[in-house]
Amino acid sequence: MSDSLPPLNALKAFEAAARLGSVTAAAQELSVTHGAVSRQIRALEAHLNTALFERAGRGLVLTRHGRQLQSGVSEAFTGLRASCRALSRDIEDAPFTLACPGSLLARWLIPRLDRLHRELPALRLNVLASEGDPDPRRSDISAALAFIAPPWPSDMQVIEITAETIGVVAAPDIAARLTGRPFEALFEETMLETTSRLQAWPQWARACGLDEQALAAARESSQRFEHLYYLLEAALVGLGVAIAPRLVIEGDLQSGRLVAPWGFVDTDARLCLLLARGTPRQGGDQLATWLRDELTTPA
C-alpha cells in the first residue's frame, strides 16, 4: 500500500456512508449521486487494498478494517471541522484595516466614521492613512481605497465605488475674480499643485479644451506641495487656485470655504476599493455598498 493519503473526496464519501450506514443517505448529504459515492468508496478500497463494507441484508455494515478506518477518519474530520469553525470565528472577529489617502480620510471619511460604526457594527474597521498609493497586498492591510484608472491590476480584486471628477477650486475672493470668465483667466492667479499628482492640471486642461502649451508656461511659476492635504490648506487661505477631486473637498464646497468657478470634469480614474487576490470579499463588499450609499448622504 502506498504511503500517500487517499483522495479527500473518497474519504468524505466513506466517512458519510459509514456514519449514516447508507450510500443513499451519504449521497444526499454530500449533494452527489448514489453512483458517485459508490465509485469513491471503491476507489478508496482499491487504494487501501481491502474491503471496507459488506452487505447485510439490504444495508451495509463496516468490515473490521472499515471500523478501524472509520475511527481515524471520523476523528480527523471532527478536528478539521473544529479548526475551520475556529478559523471562521477568528476571521469574523479580526479587525478590517482600510488604507486610505490622508486627504480623503481627513476630509471625507472621518466625518462619516461615526455613522459607519453605527450602520456596520459587525465590521471592526481600523483606518490607516497612506502616503502615495496604498497597497492592499501588505499583511497589515485588509483593503485600500484609492483613485485608480483602468486597466485594473491583475493581482488585486477591484470594487468600483464612483467615477472621479476634478475641478479648479479657490477661496471665495479668488473664485469671484474667475467666475464668468474664460479658463485663461486662471493664468492671472498663482497656480497650486501637488507633486503627488502632477498630471492633474494637464488632465483638466485637456477636458476643457485649454491650450496645454499656455498651461505649461503658467505652471513654471506654480507653487508645489508634497501632499494634497497641504495643497488644499493653501487654497483655503487664498494662496492661489488648485485642482482637486470633488469628493475630497465636498465639505468645503458645501460650507462655501472653497468655490469651483468652472465646475468639475470627469477623469479616467475611479474611486475603488482594492483587495489582494484571495482576500475574503465579505467585509469589502459591505464597505463598498456603504461607501456608495454615503456618496448621496451629507456628512
- Confidence check: pLDDT of 189 > 90: yes
- Confidence check: pLDDT of 269 > 80: yes
Q: What is the pLDDT of residue 138?
A: 82
Q: How far is CA 80 from the centre of its chain?
A: 29
- Which residue, 39, 61, 93, sits at the end of a domain? 93
Residue 142: CATH number of its domain: 3.40.190.290
Residue 149: DSSP 8-state? -
- Give CB contacts under 8 A, 24+ apart, made by 51-54: 52/14, 52/18, 53/17, 53/18
Same domain, 110 and 254: yes
Same domain, 89 and 108: no
CA–CA separation, 158 and 178 (whole Å):
38
- What pTM, to 2 d.p., does this model score? 0.67
Same domain, 54 and 199: no
Overall number of domains in the chain: 2
Q: Whose CA is closest to 228, among 265, 196, 272?
A: 196
Q: Whose CA is closest to 19, among 58, 77, 65?
A: 77
Same domain, 132 and 184: yes
- Confidence check: pLDDT of 72 > 70: yes
Q: What is the pLDDT of residue 178?
A: 96
Cell of 106: 481627513
265 vs 57, more confident: 265
Residue 60: CATH number of its domain: 1.10.10.10
Same domain, 181 and 270: yes
Beta partners for residue 62, in sequence order: 53
Q: What is the pLDDT of residue 277?
A: 82
Same domain, 280 and 136: yes
pLDDT range class, residue 172, cuts 50, 70, 90: very high
**Weakest mean pLDDT among 85-99, 108-122, 212-226:** 85-99
Identify the H or E element spanning 273.
strand 265-276
Percent of the chain topping pLDDT 70: 94
Q: What is the pLDDT of residue 85?
A: 75
201 vs 154, more confident: 201
Same domain, 299 and 221: yes
Please check whether residue 185 is in contact with residue 144, taking contact to mean a CB–CB distance below 8 angstroms: no
Q: Whose CA is closest to 60, among 41, 76, 32, 33?
A: 41
**Weakest mean pLDDT among 61-70, 186-195, 235-244, 270-279:** 270-279
Is 279 domain-assigned? yes
Compute the chain's Rg from CA coordinates.
31
Average pLDDT rounded to a whole number, residues 90-108: 83
Same domain, 201 and 66: no
Beta partners for residue 270, in sequence order: 148, 163
Is 258 domain-assigned? yes
Is 1 domain-assigned? no
Same domain, 83 and 119: no
Is 3 domain-assigned? no
Domain that holds residue 238: 99-299
Is 129 domain-assigned? yes
Same domain, 64 and 142: no
Same domain, 222 and 87: no
Is 289 domain-assigned? yes
- Which residue, 61, 93, 125, sits at the end of a domain? 93
Please check whether residue 53 is in contact with residue 84, taking contact to mean a CB–CB distance below 8 angstroms: no
pLDDT range class, residue 48, cuts 50, 70, 90: very high
**Residue 124: CB atoms within 10 Å:** 14
- Which residue, 93, 109, 138, sits at the end of a domain? 93
Same domain, 120 and 213: yes
Burial 183-200 (b: 16+ CB within 10 A, else e): beebeebbbbbbebbeeb
Q: What is the pLDDT of residue 3?
A: 67
Q: How far is CA 205 from the centre of its chain?
A: 31
Ramachandran area for residue 180 (φ above 0: left; ψ -120 to 50: alpha; else beta): left
Is 87 domain-assigned? yes
Q: What is the pLDDT of residue 93?
A: 62
Q: What is the pLDDT of residue 155?
A: 87
- Confidence check: pLDDT of 261 > 90: yes
CA–CA separation, 113 and 118 (whole Å):
9
- Confidence check: pLDDT of 288 > 70: yes
- Confidence check: pLDDT of 163 > 60: yes
Is 155 domain-assigned? yes
Average pLDDT rounded to a whole number, residues 270-282: 86
Q: What is the pLDDT of residue 124?
A: 87
Tell me how many degrees the CA angle 196-136-107 measures, rounded to the nearest 5.
Answer: 50
Mean of pLDDT over the chain = 90
pLDDT range class, residue 120, cuts 50, 70, 90: very high
